[in-house]
A and B are shown apart, each in its own frame.
Chain A
C-alpha cells in the first residue's frame, strides 16, 4: 500500500511538472484573411517553428536558436535582443488566428504569451504578440502588441480604406517603437528620430503662491533635449538596467490639422514605464510621426508629461494640457 502510494505520488508529480512547463510544440493555423494556399502554409509553418523554438528555449532556459528558421535578419536581431530582456512562452499549443493584410505585408495578431522578465520584482504577465511577414511570407518582426481594445479603438476611427491602412501602418510602427525599449534596440531608436527631433520631458514641481495665502499648486516644467542628448541618456539607461518594461495604453492617433502637413500624425499614448532598478513612471507620451516617406518614417517630436499631478495620484493632468500635433511648428 505504502509503495503504491509512493509510485502514485511520483507519477502525479511528473505529470504536474509536464503541465507547468510551457508546451513545446506549438502549431499556428491561419483561418481567415489569406487565400493564397502556398503562402498560408509557408507562414503557418514558419510561425509554428518559431513559437515551438521559443517554448523550447523557455523550458530549457537557454538562448533562442533562430538559425535555420528562415527569419529575416530584422526578426532575428529583434527577437534575440528581446530574449535578453525577457523570457516568454506561447500559452497555447494551438494558435488559431486570422491574417491581416497591411499594405503588401501580413500580420498575425493575438499570439498569447506569458512573459517572465529577468527581474525579480515583476510577476509573470500576459502579453500578446504580433508576427509580421513580408509579401513572400518571411517573418520580418516579432513585436509585443498594444492591447486589443487599444488597437480596436484606433482602427475603428479610420473612415475609409486609405485611412484604415494608414492607421494600421502607424500602429505597426508604434508597436515596434514600444518593443524597441524592451529590446533595448538603440539602433532603431536612433534611426526613427529625425536629426533635428525635438524632445521634451516634463516634471511636476510644487509651486507656492506668493500672495500670502500659502496655497501651493502643481506645475509641470519642461526640459528640452536634442536627439543626441536623449540617445546618450537612453544608452546609459539601457546599460544600467537588466530589463526595461514599457506598456502603452489609451492610444490616440490624430492627423495633423494643417493641410500643408499632410502625412504627419500625432500619436498620444499613456506610457507606463518600469525598469530593473526600481524606477517607474506613468505619463502621456506624444510622438509626432512623419509618414511622408514610407521607407523612412521619422519622429520629429517626442514629449512626455506626467499623468498624475500630485503625489497621492488623485489629480490627473488636464486633457487640454496634453500636447497635440497643432502645438508644434515644423520647418518643412
Chain B
C-alpha cells in the first residue's frame, strides 16, 4: 500500500515536470519564430483561447499591413493575397495562469502583394489583360531575356485576341462557358477565356473573400505559380469539384489565390 502511494505521488510529480517541459518547448519554439526574419507573428493572452486567438489574428493583420507599408513601393500595393488568415496562419496556444496565450504567425513568402489597379474587376477597356497569374503579379527575379519573352507573349496574346475575336466567338459556340473555363490549366490560359466571356456579358467575377462571397457561385483556386488547382462549385457551406462533382474541403486550398465567378 505504501509502495502504491509512493508510485502515485511520483507519477503526479512526473506529469507536472513533463507538462512544464512541454510548455518550455512551446515557448522556445515561439521565440525561435519571433527571432526569424522569415515570419510575421503576433501574440495575445486573454481569458479564453477563442478571445486570445481572435486578438492575435487581429494583431497579425496589423503586422502584415505594417510590413507591406514598410516595403519599397508599399503604398502602391492594391491587394494582399493571403487566402484566409485563419487557414494560412499557424497557431500555438499555452496557459498563462488561468489565461491562455495564443501565438499566430505567417511566412512572409506566403504573403503575395498585388501592385496596380484593376486586378479584380474587368472593365470594357481592360478586356481581361488585367487578370494575371500570381507568378506574373509577384514578379519573381527574372533574367532580362526571360522577361522579354514573357512580355512578348502577353503582348501577342492580347493582339491575337483583339484581331480574332469573332473567330473565338464562333469556335467556342459549341462549348459551354464552364467547359471553356475548366479547359484552362493556368491563369494565362484563363485570361482570354474570362475576357471573352466578359465581353459577351456571360460572367461576373471578383477576388474571393470568405466574409463577403455569395452562397451560390464557383470558386477558382490557383497556386503561386499561376497553375489552376481547382474549380469548385460553392453551394452554401458545401463545395464540390466542378469537374467530377467530388466533395471538396476549403482547407485543402490554404495558401492559394482565389477568384469567385458566376455564369449568366
What secondary structure prevails in chain A residues at the interface with B?
Answer: mixed
Contact between B17 and A15, CB atoms less than 8 A apart:
yes
A112 to chain B, nearest CB (A): 6
Interfacial residues of chain A within 39-82, with CB under 8 A of chain B in the complex: none
Q: Are A31 and B55 in contact (CB under 8 A)?
A: no
Q: Does A152 contact B (CB under 8 A)?
A: yes
Q: Are B43 and A92 in contact, with the CB atoms below 8 A? A: no
B97 close to A94 (CB less than 8 A)? no
Q: Give complex CA distance A188, B35 in Å.
A: 37
Interface string of A140-155 (1 = CB under 8 A from B): 0000000111001000
Enumerate chain A residues within 8 angstroms of B80, measured Cβ to Cβ.
none
Q: How far is A6 from B9 in the complex, measured between Cα atoms in Å? A: 11
Say whether B55 contacts A148, CB under 8 Å. yes
Q: Are A152 and B31 in contact, CB atoms less than 8 angstroms apart?
A: no
Q: Is the CB of A94 within 8 A of B27?
A: yes
Does A24 sit at the interface, judged by CB under 8 A? no
Provide the B98-114 mask, 1 if CB < 8 A to any CB of A, else 0: 11010000000000000
Which chain B residues lie closer than 8 Å to A92 at the CB level? Answer: 27
| C-alpha spacing A124/B59, complex, angstroms | 26
B10–A9 CB distance below 8 A: yes
User: Smallest Cβ distance from A34 to chain B, in angstroms?
Assistant: 14
- A93: which B residues are within 8 A, CB to CB? 24, 27
Count of chain A to chain B residue pairs whose CB atoms are closer than 8 Å in the complex: 70
Chain B window 16-40, contacts with chain A (Cβ cutoff 8 Å), 1 for yes, 0 for no: 1100100010011011001100000
Q: A19-B16, A96-B34, A126-B45 are in contact. Are A152 and B62 (CB under 8 A)?
A: yes
* Residues of chain A within 8 A of B44, CB atoms compared: 148-149
- Whether A209 sits at the interface, judged by CB under 8 Å, is no
B197 contacts the other chain (CB 8 A): no
Q: Tell me the minimal C-beta distance from B1 to chain A in angstroms.
A: 13
Q: B97 and A126: CB pair below 8 A?
A: yes
Q: In the complex, which of the residues A5, A13, A15, A114 contacts B97, with contact meaning CB atoms closer than 8 Å? A: A114
Q: How far is the CA of A12 from the CA of B7 in the complex (A)?
A: 11
**Residues from chain A with Cβ under 8 Å of B96 in the complex:** 91, 112, 114, 126
Bound Cα distance from A29 to B30, whole angstroms: 13
For B55, the chain A residues whose CB sits under 8 A away are 148-149, 152
Q: Is the CB of A16 within 8 A of B13?
A: yes
Per-residue contact bits, chain B 28-71, to A (CB 8 Å; 1 contact, 0 not) = 10110011000000011110000000010011001000000000
Q: What residue in chain B is nearest A5 (Cβ atoms)?
A: B6
Residues 125-161 of A contacting B (Cβ, < 8 Å): 125-126, 128, 147-149, 152, 156
B62 and A13 within 8 A (CB): no
Contact between chains at B10 and A12 (CB < 8 Å): yes
**Which of the residues B6, B13, B46 comes within 8 Å of A149, measured between beta carbons?**
B46
Q: How far is the CA of A201 from the CA of B43 in the complex (A)?
A: 37
Question: Quick one: given A5-B3, A19-B16, are A110 and B98 in contact (CB under 8 Å)?
Answer: no
User: In whole angstroms, how far apart are the Cα atoms of A112 and B96 in the complex?
Assistant: 9
Determine the chain A residues whose CB is within 8 A of the CB of B34 once the complex forms: 31, 96-97
A8 to B45, CA, bound (A): 36
Q: Within A265-323, which residues are at the interface with B (CB < 8 Å)?
A: none
**How far apart are the CA atoms of A208 and B45 in the complex, in Å?**
45
The answer to whether A331 has its CB under 8 Å from any CB of chain B is: no
What's the minimum C-beta distance from A171 to chain B, rounded to whole angstroms? 16
Residues of A within 8 A of B58 (CB): 149, 152
Q: Is the CB of B97 within 8 A of A12?
A: no
Chain B contact residues, CB within 8 Å of chain A = 3, 6-7, 9-10, 13-14, 16-17, 20, 24, 27-28, 30-31, 34-35, 43-46, 55, 58-59, 62, 96-99, 101
CB<8 Å pairs between A and B, sample of 19: A5-B6, A12-B13, A12-B14, A16-B13, A19-B20, A29-B31, A91-B96, A92-B27, A93-B27, A96-B34, A112-B101, A123-B98, A124-B97, A125-B98, A126-B97, A128-B45, A148-B45, A148-B55, A148-B59
Using a CB–CB cutoff of 8 Å, the interface residues on chain A facing chain B are 2, 5-6, 8-9, 12-13, 15-16, 19, 29, 31, 91-94, 96-97, 110, 112, 114, 123-126, 128, 147-149, 152, 156
